[in-house]
Amino acid sequence: MADEKPIVALVRGDQELNEAKLQTATGAQVIRPAHAEEIPPLMGAKAGSLGAVRFSKAPVLVEPSLVDRRDMVTGANEDGFHLRGVDVRRDVLTGPHAKVAELRTVRAGEGCPRCDGTLDVFKALEVGHIFKLGTKYSESMKATVLDADGKGVPIVMGSYGIGVERIMAAAIELHHDENGIVWPTAIAPFQATVLILGPEPELKQAADGIVEALSAAGVEVLYDDRDERAGVKFKDADLVGVPIRIAVGKKGLANGQVEWKLRGSKQVELVPVADVAARTARAARPA
């Protein structure tokens, strides 16, 4: 039923009807399967014995892969009976009520109609959507605009959305490793994290200065000055996935340096304290 009007969609028995394609082909706002009691008055039989041969009581849409098929079997629109030897072009596409339309769900491994590639089908996470609402809601709300002739017509509506939380979930699903999240710089909640690796006052003093310099350079910083072991802080930094990790330790600071590491890299560099802010600001810019 397309907007509560009957329509017959014809696909091969080994294919699956794609309701989105059916909706596009009909232009209907709402598509639903017909109820059991709605079928016999229209088709003359119950589900299981239905077909479109010489049928003209409702529009008939035929999947293109069926058009040139011959010697097919379909329901006879009489309970318990089927027809054999059906030629789809001869027996179904018999008048203006019948037309060809893309209706089926494609399958993995099928060829591309425009190149020599093959289709890959996999599960995905929806991060945005577009719904064509038509005039369904504007009619009920009596929301109209004037057309070129000054006549009031219902507004044609659409819904366009993007999910911030879904983007985060998708990013984590794509960017992670065994240790945790690996945030892309462009959407990371923090661009850098500064860790203090010891209780010495000079470490905190140096870290405070680095955080201040990073902030002044426009870098968003997560400051880890907790009273925890270095290993715990390293693990937490990897788990949270901040793109750049700056660790202030006693040994490195004695030489005027701090540890500098990208989240997706195993390499740890020793960078002079005076260069940390500029180096981090450059690396934090999204590619």
Where along the chain do its domains lie? Answer: 8-100, 128-164, 185-284
Q: Averaged over 107-126, what is the pLDDT? A: 87
Task: Assign 208 a pLDDT band (cuts: 50, 70, 90).
Answer: very high
Q: How many CB atoms lie within 10 A of CB 153?
A: 12
What are 174-190's pLDDT values in tens digits?
A: 999 999 999 999 899 99
- Mean pLDDT across 243-255: 96
Distance of CA 132 to the CA centre of its chain: 17
Query: In 3D, which of 4, 3, 21, 6 has the Cα closest to residue 134?
Result: 3
Q: What does the mean pLDDT of the chain come to?
A: 93
The Cα-based distances of 64 to 2, 147, 186 in angstroms read 20, 37, 44
Percent helix / strand / coil, the chain, rounded to 5: 30, 25, 45
* Residues 144 and 152 sit within 8 Å (Cβ to Cβ): yes
Report whether pLDDT(262) > 80: yes
> Following CA atoms 69, 75, 76, 81 in sequence, which dihedral angle do they give, to the nearest 10 degrees?
130
- Answer yes or no: are the C-beta atoms of 74 and 63 closer than 8 Å: no
Count other Cβ atoms within 10 Å, centred on residue 199: 9
Q: What is the mean pLDDT of residues 106-134?
A: 87
- Residue 4 binned pLDDT confidence (cut-offs 50, 70, 90): very high
**pLDDT (average), residues 200-211:** 96
Residue 251 has pLDDT above 90, yes or no: yes
Mean pLDDT of the region 83-103? 94
Q: If you average pLDDT over residues 196-214, what whole number do you get?
A: 96
Model pLDDT, residue 131: 84
pLDDT at 29: 83
Half-sphere exposure of 196 (CA within 13 A, CB side): 20
What kind and span of H or E run contains 20? helix 19-26
Four-way CATH pick for 8-100: 3.30.379.10, 3.40.190.80, 3.90.960.10, 3.40.50.150: 3.90.960.10
Q: How far apart are CA 230 and CA 227, in angstroms?
A: 9
Has residue 287 got a pLDDT over 70?
no
**185-284 is classed in which CATH architecture?**
3-Layer(aba) Sandwich (3.40)
Element (H, E) at 59: none
pLDDT, mean of residues 197-214: 95
Tell me which DSSP letter residue 96 carries: T
pLDDT-based confidence at residue 27 (cuts at 50, 70, 90) = confident
Q: How far apart are CA 138 and CA 144, in angstroms?
A: 7
The pTM of this model reads 0.60
Residue-wise pLDDT tens digits, 122-154: 888 888 888 888 888 999 999 999 999 999 999
Neighbour tally for 10: CB within 10 Å: 23
Distance of CA 41 to the CA centre of its chain: 41
Query: Residues 2-30: what's their mean pLDDT?
Result: 92
Residue 230 sits at φ, ψ, to 5 deg, of -60, -40
The answer to whether the beta carbons of residues 249 and 197 sit under 8 Å apart is yes
Checking if the pLDDT of 114 tops 90, the result is no
For 84, half-sphere exposure in the C-beta direction (CA atoms, 13 angstrom radius) is 0
Q: Is residue 261 predicted with pLDDT exceeding 90?
A: yes
